[in-house]
Copies of this chain bind each other. A is one copy, B any other.
């Protein structure tokens, strides 16, 4: 019984809280909205709010793209070079978005752009994902999971995306933006060329 009444109700409450929060945030702004208001709008007690989301920030931050991306990278043909596989994997995930998903995703990203604390935690979350990404990359390279080269490559990729992709878009990014990351990586490669041991 993975979907008893209990589970269904929990999912419903969770969605209700998130929807209420997003609505209030876009209506009155993030700072001006209290957790109490969110709870009231979602018809739960503040206690319950904190049982579903550990902080006020988390109600917006929660996304579950990471596992999807990891799997999409794994699904790339073995002949594809690592970096291409990563780029294409991400692309695949976002290409699979429905119209509705794009809308709410762009709304989320709009919040991240405006509220500094949210942007900070969003970037932090991306940094935390380095470990996971490094794992898949290590797989593809046939090296141990904690290989320094794999970690370095992952850090470079994530660093480029954070520095280059995010600030560059006004209306949230689309799937095409990964082409720009490719171009950026090529220019990075050229600057690394003069490095000699």
Interface residues of A (CB under 8 A from B): 81-84, 120-121, 123-124, 127, 130, 134, 148-149, 151-164, 168, 180, 182-189, 191-195, 197
Interface pair B160/A195, CB less than 8 Å apart: no
Interface pair A187/B152, CB less than 8 Å apart: yes
Provide the main secondary structure of the chain A interface.
helix
Q: List 30 A-B contacts (CB under 8 A).
A: A81-B191, A81-B195, A82-B191, A83-B191, A83-B194, A84-B195, A120-B120, A120-B124, A123-B124, A123-B127, A124-B124, A130-B162, A130-B163, A148-B164, A148-B180, A149-B184, A151-B163, A151-B164, A151-B184, A152-B164, A153-B187, A155-B159, A155-B164, A158-B163, A159-B159, A159-B160, A185-B192, A186-B192, A189-B189, A192-B192
**This protein's copies in its complex:** 2
Closest Cβ of chain B to A157, distance in Å, is 7
Provided the pairs A163-B151, A195-B81 are in contact, do residues A156 and B186 lie with their beta carbons within 8 angstroms? no
List residues of chain B with CB within 8 A of the CB of A152: 160, 163-164, 184-185, 187-188
Interface pair A84/B134, CB less than 8 Å apart: no
Closest Cβ of chain B to A147, distance in Å, is 9
Closest Cβ of chain B to A139, distance in Å, is 14
Closest Cβ of chain B to A165, distance in Å, is 9
Interface pair A195/B184, CB less than 8 Å apart: no
Interface pair A160/B156, CB less than 8 Å apart: yes
